[in-house]
Structure 1
Amino acid sequence: MTQDEPTATDESATGLHPALIATAIALPVALVVGIIVAAVMANRTPVREPVALGAVPSPLAESTECATLLGALPETFDSFTRAELADPAPVGAAAWQSEDVTDPIVLRCGLERPAEFDQAAALDVVDGVQWFRVSGADQGLAASTWFVVDRGVYAAATIPDGTGPTPIQALSAAVSGALPQTPLDPAPIN
């Protein structure tokens, strides 16, 4: 073979430049990878359904205090975002959802005094707001309900276990900014 004879790897023998061949292979591969990445991302951000809440006795849910509190609630905190409520949505209620937590956080305003809240009840104070906490463990729930007991209306936040302190801190900030503190009114000890 002489130097003037073309070889099998020479461009003139195939008629195609190696860069063109590489591009022809890379484009379909990139398209397939892009489709896979888009599918994975679509599954990571699921469509959120509105939160369905049942009715509970809330005689003051339509009060000015509840309207003020609902208007002061944050849209987001930690990994939670304010959620749409399914119709028929109860008056005086709000909810937040997170991609990291299965159950939503739910706040209801205008409730009756909790039956367990008596003069011997232990209270938690978070950012100046007094809360009466009821664990859901006795009912088999992995959540606790925190009742605001030192404002003109009772409000309750049901918070899934394991969410940390941020939800109660964010709700305490909203409560203290929206509602003036009032004296406690616990039931007598039976």
Structure 2
Amino acid sequence: MAGRGRVSPPVVVALALPLLLALVVAGVGIWSRLSSGPDTGPLALPPAAAPQAAGPPCDAVLGALPAELPADPAPLPSREIDPPVPGARAWAAAPEPVVLRCGTERPAALGPTSPLIVVNGVSWLPLGTPPGGLATTYAVVDRGIHLELSAPAEVGSAPLQTVSDAVTAHLPAQPVQVR
């Protein structure tokens, strides 16, 4: 006869088994999400003003970019944009995709004291990371048209360098117009 206040082993097993099963399922879900890599399905881009996106300069720069964008630790495959957006390209990366928009408007943050970085001969204005975002956006400010590149820090500087090379090859440098 079992004593009062003691739970028999079959009851303990019956209570613990569903809890253990729930923990295992949650662990497998988290592991598969972390190990599955970046999303490679079609990407829907939010609208953005890009009045010069459909012109020959953007076509030249975008056409010069590789299908796989160099990154750390491995190249990033192209990602389809659906619906298509003129002047835009995307590559699969985690935690967010790398997105390039060509023909964008002059960045409002560009001023006489704006801190620019120069990468392979191209002047970029860091625009920062939006609240809740995981990618930093940079804008090309020394060409006849503006471009914006958003990339998570985890991919390293190779995307910025590769886009800079395409910009240098197809868009002549101009003085930065701060107005």
> Which range, TM-score by smaller chain?
0.7 to 0.9
Establish whether residue 56 from structure 1 lines up as the match of residue 48 from structure 2.
yes
Aligned-pair distance for 1:161?
A: 2.4
Structure of larger gyration radius: 1
Counterparts of 1:7-46 in structure 2, within 5 Å, are: 44=36
2:110 to 105, 117, 134: 117
Aligned-pair distance for 1:45?
A: 7.5
Establish whether residue 104 from structure 1 lines up as the match of residue 100 from structure 2.
no
Aligned-pair distance for 1:48?
A: 2.5
CA RMSD of aligned residues (A): 2.0
1:71 to 57, 63, 68: 63
Establish whether residue 81 from structure 1 lines up as the match of residue 81 from structure 2.
no
TM-score by length of 2: 0.73
What amino acid is the match of 1:111?
A: T
SS at match of 1:159: strand
SS at match of 1:107: strand
Q: Distance in 2 between matches of 1:93 and 1:114?
A: 17
Partner residue in 1 for 2:18: none
TM-score by length of 1: 0.69
**Residue-by-residue CA offset, 1:79-121 (whole Å, 9 max, x unaligned):** 211111111x2110000113xx231000001111010011110
What amino acid is the match of 2:170?
A: A
**Residue-by-residue CA offset, 1:12-40 (whole Å, 9 max, x unaligned):** xxxxxxxxxxxxxxxxxxxxxxxxxxxx9
Aligned-pair distance for 1:47?
A: 7.5
Q: Is the 8 A contact 1:97 1:104 kept in 2?
A: yes
Partner residue in 2 for 1:25: none
Q: Distance in 1 between matches of 2:165 and 2:126?
A: 17
Aligned-pair distance for 1:46?
A: 8.2
Q: Distance in 1 between matches of 2:38 and 2:67?
A: 19
Gaps of 5+ in 1: 1-39
Q: Is the 8 A contact 1:74 1:174 kept in 2?
A: no
SS at match of 1:174: helix
SS at match of 1:81: coil
The runs of at least 4 aligned residues of structure 1 exceeding 3 Å deviation read 43-47
Establish whether residue 162 from structure 1 lines up as the match of residue 158 from structure 2.
no
Q: Is the 8 A contact 2:95 2:134 kept in 1?
A: no
**Residue-by-residue CA offset, 1:107-143 (whole Å, 9 max, x unaligned):** 0011110100111101000011110011115x23221
Partner residue in 1 for 2:6: none
1:140 to 132, 138, 156: 132
Gaps of 5+ in 2: 1-31
1:174 to 161, 166, 178: 166
